[in-house]
A and B are shown apart, each in its own frame.
Chain A
C-alpha cells in the first residue's frame, strides 16, 4: 500500500546558501512558550543583567522546557504577549549590549548514564526543531528502552522553500554523528534510519558518507512527494509500520527525531551552549535575496528580514515555516522562536486569496489524503453538527498537512473545516464521556 500525497513545487532556492550570522539585534523578545506543554517560569526580573546562555525561564511541570537568554544585556521588561496562536504568555524582553558575552555557567556537559543524559538534554532547552516544538527530553525519556527498535531521523524537509535542515546535513555532519553516538550510548538504540527526500542530492551524499562510518546507520531516500516529513508518513515509508490513531511512534517501536534537533544535541554535548539561536531560511516572493541566516531567538521578524537583505515589496503575508503548514503571523514584530525554521514573506500576487467555488465532487481531496480521510464527508458532517459521524470519519487523525486544500480545484478551505471539525469532535467526545460517568 502506498500513502497518497501531492507534488508541490520545491522552491529550494536557498539550498546552496551557507547560513550567515546576522548582526545582534538591539532588543529581543523571548516568549516563555515556544514548545508544546506548560510555559516556562520566568526567573529574571526587570533590570537584571543577563549573558548569552543564561537561564531566564525554568521548565515548569512534566512537559515544559528551559529557556535561555539569547543576547547579553539587561532585562528591560517582563511582560505578557499574545502569540500567533492567540494565547497569552509571559515574555522577557532583553536590551542587548552588543557584546554577546557568554554566560560563565556554560561548559561542556559530561553525562554518564541515561538519567544524566536526559537531564543534559533538558538543560539545553532543546525542543523538536522540525516545527512541532515538543520538548526533546520528554520524548527521549523512554520508560522501557528495550522497546526502541529503530530511531527514524526526520530529514525529509518536504515543505517548499525551507532548506535549514538541508544546511544542517551539509554543514553539521559531525554533530549529527555525535548526536547519533549519544543516543546509541545512552538509549541503547542500535538502528538509525535517516529519511531524506530525493530533491536534496548534496545532503544525501553527505549523510551517506557519514552513515558508512557509523554502524547501524542507514540513509533512506524518500520520493519527493509531500508530506514525507509527517511523522506517521515517515515511519510508514521507512519501517513500514502504521502508528495507531492516538498513539505514539514508540507504540510501533520507533523514535522519531528531527535532524536539526539531533545535530543540536550533538553540538550541545560538545560545547554546552544551550539553544539560543536558530538557522532560518528567509525566502518568498517578497524577499529581495533569499538566504539562510542564523539569528538569536527572540529577534523580531522585521529585523531578521532587514538584516537578510530586506523586502523587495511590501509583504502581504508572512509565515512561520513553509507554505503548506506554516502559520501566518499577525505582524512583523513577532519574534523568532525555537521551532522557527523559516520565515516566508509572500508578495501581493503570491498571497492573493483564491476564489472558493462549489464542490464538484471530484474526489481529489480523499484520493490525495495520506491518511485516506474524506474531507468532503467531514465538511458535511461538520455542517450537520454530527459528532457521531465525525468520530466514524476519524477526523482526529488529520495532521493538517494541507494536501486536500492544495489539490482542491474549487479551492475549498478543507483544512480549516477539518480543524473546526476536530474541535467539534473533542466537544462531542467530552460530552459523551461526561454522560457515561453521570450514569
Chain B
C-alpha cells in the first residue's frame, strides 16, 4: 500500500477558491459589459477586449520575466482589465488603452508584489494616471450611438452638465437609469450595475457595508447641499465604483466597521470634489485616497480577540 498522507488538520476545505471568486466578479460585470456594447456600439467591445488581453498578457510576461509563479489562472488580471475598460470613454485610442492596462497590472499590482499585496486599486490608479496623461481623450465624451470617430458629436457627461448648469444637456432619470447618456463604458447603465451587485451579494463575494455606506453618504450630502439626490447617485462612476472598486479585497478594510468607515470616507471625498473641486467627478480619487488610509482604518477597527474577563 502507498504511504498515508499525514498533514495538519483541517482535512476539509470549502470549495471557494480565489479563481471562482474572480469568476463571480467577472459574471457580475457581464451585464454592464453587454450594456456598454448596446449603448456605445461595437467599439466598446474592442476596448474591453484590448484591456483584458493586455492585462493578462502583461501579467504573464512580467511573471515570466521575474521568474515568479504564474498567476493568470486566478483571473484577477481579467477583472482588472474589465474594470479599467469600464472606466474609459468609448473613443479612447487603442494605444492609450494598452498603456493604461500595462500600468495597472505592472506598476500598480505586480511591482507591489502581485495579487493581494497592492495597496491601491489597479484599475482606478491606472485611470487616474491616464486622466493626467491623456486629459483630452479621457474626457472626449460622445453621445451614445453617434460614434463614428469622424462625425462623433461631442457631449458632456451628466455631471459636467450639472456642474455647468446646462440643464438642456441633462438626461432624464430613465435615461440615467438605463445608461442612455455620455460617460465611461461601464458606468452609465445603473440597471446593469445593480444586477451585478445583487449577484455579488447573493454569492457572498462582497458585503453590503461599503456600497451602502458610500452611496448613502453621497445621497445624504447631496440632500444637505440642496442638490438633486437621485441625479447625483445615478450619474458618474458612483455605482460602478461603490460596487466593484470600493469592495476590492486587498485595498479595503476587512472588517464590518472598517468597510463602513471606508464607504463614508469615499462618499465625503466624492461630494467634496463634485461640488467644490475643479473636476466634475471624484469617485476615482475618493477611492484611491481611501485606499491609502486603509491600513489605518484596518488597524483602528481590528477585531478584539475574545479573551474574556480577568483570570480568577
Known: A232-B306, A374-B303. A357 touches B254 (CB 8 A): no
- Interface positions of A from 308 to 342, Cβ below 8 Å from B: 314-319, 323-332
A294 to B74, CA, bound (A): 47
How many chain B residues touch the partner (CB < 8 A)?
Answer: 40
A325–B10 CB distance below 8 A: yes
A323–B11 CB distance below 8 A: yes
A-B contact count (CB 8 A): 156
| Segment from A25-33, A63-71, A265-273, A398-406 that makes contact with B | A398-406
- Closest chain A residue to B11, Cβ basis: A323
* Across-interface contacts of A242 in B (CB, < 8 A): 306-309
A326 to B304, CA, bound (A): 28
* Across-interface contacts of A325 in B (CB, < 8 A): 9-10
B115: Cβ under 8 A from any A Cβ: yes
Known: A366-B254, A371-B306. A359 touches B7 (CB 8 A): no
- Interface positions of B from 172 to 186, Cβ below 8 Å from A: none
A402 to B117, CA, bound (A): 24
A413: Cβ under 8 A from any B Cβ: yes
Known: A251-B312, A357-B71, A374-B302. A324 touches B249 (CB 8 A): no
A220 to B1, CA, bound (A): 46
Known: A8-B12, A160-B12, A244-B311. A409 touches B21 (CB 8 A): yes
B18–A246 CB distance below 8 A: no
A116: Cβ under 8 A from any B Cβ: no
A411: Cβ under 8 A from any B Cβ: yes
A362–B306 CB distance below 8 A: no
Q: Give a binary string over A1-36; 1 marks a CB under 8 Å from any B CB, 0 the rest.
A: 001001011000000000000000000000000000
Task: Give B210 Cβ to nearest chain A Cβ, in Å.
Answer: 12
Task: Give B181 Cβ to nearest chain A Cβ, in Å.
Answer: 35
* Across-interface contacts of A160 in B (CB, < 8 A): 12
B contact face: mostly helix, strand, loop, or mixed: loop
A361 to B21, CA, bound (A): 13
Known: A360-B18, A363-B255, A367-B254. A354 touches B13 (CB 8 A): yes
A232 to B312, CA, bound (A): 16
B136: Cβ under 8 A from any A Cβ: no
Known: A319-B11, A409-B18, A413-B8. A247 touches B254 (CB 8 A): no
* Across-interface contacts of B8 in A (CB, < 8 A): 413, 415-416, 419
A381: Cβ under 8 A from any B Cβ: no
B311–A407 CB distance below 8 A: no
- Interface positions of B from 293 to 312, Cβ below 8 Å from A: 302-312
| A–B Cβ pairs within 8 angstroms, 24 of them | A242-B309, A243-B308, A247-B312, A252-B308, A316-B2, A316-B4, A317-B4, A327-B9, A328-B4, A358-B18, A360-B18, A360-B116, A360-B249, A361-B254, A363-B255, A366-B303, A367-B303, A371-B306, A397-B305, A405-B10, A406-B13, A406-B14, A410-B17, A416-B8
Known: A354-B13, A409-B21. 19 other contacts (CB 8 A): A160-B12, A242-B308, A244-B311, A245-B307, A251-B312, A328-B5, A331-B4, A351-B11, A358-B116, A367-B255, A371-B305, A372-B305, A406-B10, A409-B14, A409-B18, A410-B17, A410-B18, A411-B17, A413-B8
